[in-house]
Chain A
Amino acid sequence: MSSYKRVDGRNYDELRPIKAEVRVLKNADGSALFELGNTKVIAAVYGPRELHSKHIAASYESLVRVRYHMVPFSVKERKSQPFTRREIEISKVIKEALSACIRRELFPRSTIDIYVEVLNADGSTRVASLNATSLALADAGVFMYDLIAAVSVGKIQGQLIVDLNEYEDQNSEADIPIAFMPSLNKVVLLQMDGVMTYEEMKEALKLARNAAEKIYQIEKECLKSSLESVLKVYGYL
């Protein structure tokens, strides 16, 4: 491996410290906070619930709607635009990834509304958002085929790295956000920006798969401890 030193001293395949917490917002049916170092994301899920504009309802499955949004103070320069093209695209890819893992056929004519707010952006916000939304959906008790474990991999000065922060994102030659349903070994989100050879790409996907497994374990642990605390309150544990 090359001798590239990462700005925060991490190993090339090392994730930033992860914090995952569910049931952080009481009004939402399900909610989660997900942190990758200084990238902090909160997600709320409402639904399955009644859809008010009935003409867009699907007769045999539920609609999934996602809004990914960055709060104005989440980035270096205050973000004033209410909804950028970048946010629209990210909302779309997150929606499509979640649609692949939610069992939509169980909730016909309804909608599942998912709101993501990026509270602090330090790279990899879309994958953090996917992890947060997947936990929030589980917290809401929405049936899914699997949780989503998402991670970014990239290339900087020829070195492949996992979990890019803002600096690495700005200075990288390539970055790949990718999301897995780990138990099923399926990819539900894949984007790539930059320049890579086929070999690098293959290696990067392998790194991503391993990192996703780590995130998956943390997510499961998070849901388990949340369940345990509920069971304790009711005296089952």
Chain B
Amino acid sequence: MEGIKYNIFIPKIRQKFILNALKENKRIDNRALNEYRAVKIKYGHLPNADGSAEVSLGNTIVLAGVKIDISNPFPSEPDKGILIVNAEFPPVASPDFEPGPPDENAIELARIVDRGLRKPEVVDFSSLCIIPSQKVYRIWLDIYALNHDGNMVDAAGIAAIVALMNTKYRKFTYVQDKGLVDTGEKVPLSIKNFPVFITHAKIGDQIILDPNLEEEMLADCKVTTIVSEGGLITGMQKSGIGSLTLEDIDKILIDSINLYQKVKENILKEVNKNA
């Protein structure tokens, strides 16, 4: 139940400059309206994590780490593994972030990422069952912002999927009279889908892709579209004060679906570069 806080101050003259440039289809960092910032990916660099990825989208940096342990399954899904997504915006990432438990923005981000990974079953949850109704693997996916320069959702989405892709967990088997036994083997997660998070911002009449922090502060609202294999839409979230028309939504949907393949290939290219 917090107020809306926008502490980052953009001088009026700069606001005008940005908005006027947008009227001529120009952006302050010289990007086209539907152009992504450069994506850089580092992964598997944190050996104590079962999986990890650090993604930078321009100056935005987001870190995702995976830890896997064993727990009881949810009663509603006794033969499926569990995924828990958390996000934190620690003060290292911005002078506006304060220490303490995740605020509503961090919780929203975690829940968007969670939604993007759950329904299209990015991880084969059935393969994460050890003893039905008793023991399953539990995936903890923790997302940390390291530098906030706008559009953290997309960066978090890439970090999440790349971290899951390079996750390896200790394989346990159930042996009669002995219980769970560590096989000493480390196996990767089986990844079934590849969701891409695509965020547009609406500023005045313009819709722009991948807003940076300044653009985000001036935007009416943002819309994140999650697109998965086959151009299916697997999630959407409008965030921020402000409104959209149905035509805007339609435009965003079409644009996101068209971008999917390109963005995905770009991510995979970056991943392979560091392999």
A residues with a Cβ closer than 8 A to B are 56, 58, 63-67, 85-86, 88-89, 91-93, 95-96, 99-101, 111, 173-174, 176, 181, 184-198, 201-202, 205, 209
Q: Enumerate chain B residues within 8 angstroms of A95, measured Cβ to Cβ.
A: 4
Contact check, B240 vs A198: say whether CB atoms are below 8 A apart: no
A195 to B250 CA separation, bound complex (whole angstroms) = 17
Q: Enumerate chain B residues within 8 angstroms of A88, measured Cβ to Cβ.
A: 104, 107
Contact check, B238 vs A191: say whether CB atoms are below 8 A apart: yes
Whether A99 touches B223, Cβ cut-off 8 Å, given contacts A92-B104, A176-B236, is no
Contact check, B2 vs A65: say whether CB atoms are below 8 A apart: yes
Contact check, A190 vs B3: say whether CB atoms are below 8 A apart: no
Whether A198 touches B244, Cβ cut-off 8 Å, given contacts A56-B3, A67-B1, is no
A185 to B110 CA separation, bound complex (whole angstroms) = 30
- Give the A-B contact count at a CB cut-off of 8 A: 114
Contact check, B119 vs A193: say whether CB atoms are below 8 A apart: yes
Taking a contact as CB atoms closer than 8 A, the residue among B221, B249, B257 that contacts A205 in the complex is B249
Q: Enumerate chain B residues within 8 angstroms of A89, measured Cβ to Cβ.
A: 104, 107-108, 111
List 13 other contacts, CB 8 Å, given A63-B4, A192-B237, A194-B119. A65-B1, A85-B110, A89-B104, A96-B240, A187-B248, A188-B243, A192-B236, A193-B115, A196-B232, A197-B232, A198-B231, A202-B250, A205-B250
Q: Enumerate chain A residues within 8 angstroms of B232, measured Cβ to Cβ.
A: 195-197
Q: Secondary structure of the B side of the interface?
A: mixed
A75 to B221 CA separation, bound complex (whole angstroms) = 32
* B206-263 residues at the A interface, CB under 8 angstroms: 221, 223, 228, 231-246, 248-250, 253-254, 257
B120 within 8 Å of A (CB atoms): yes
Taking a contact as CB atoms closer than 8 A, the residue among B5, B234, B237 that contacts A190 in the complex is B237
Contact check, A193 vs B235: say whether CB atoms are below 8 A apart: yes
> Chain A nearest CB: distance from B83 CB in Å?
14
Contact check, A198 vs B233: say whether CB atoms are below 8 A apart: yes
In this complex, the member of B107, B120, B254 whose beta carbon has the largest number of chain A beta carbons within 10 angstroms is: B107
A203 to B120 CA separation, bound complex (whole angstroms) = 21
Contact check, B233 vs A201: say whether CB atoms are below 8 A apart: yes
Whether A185 touches B246, Cβ cut-off 8 Å, given contacts A63-B3, A89-B111, is yes
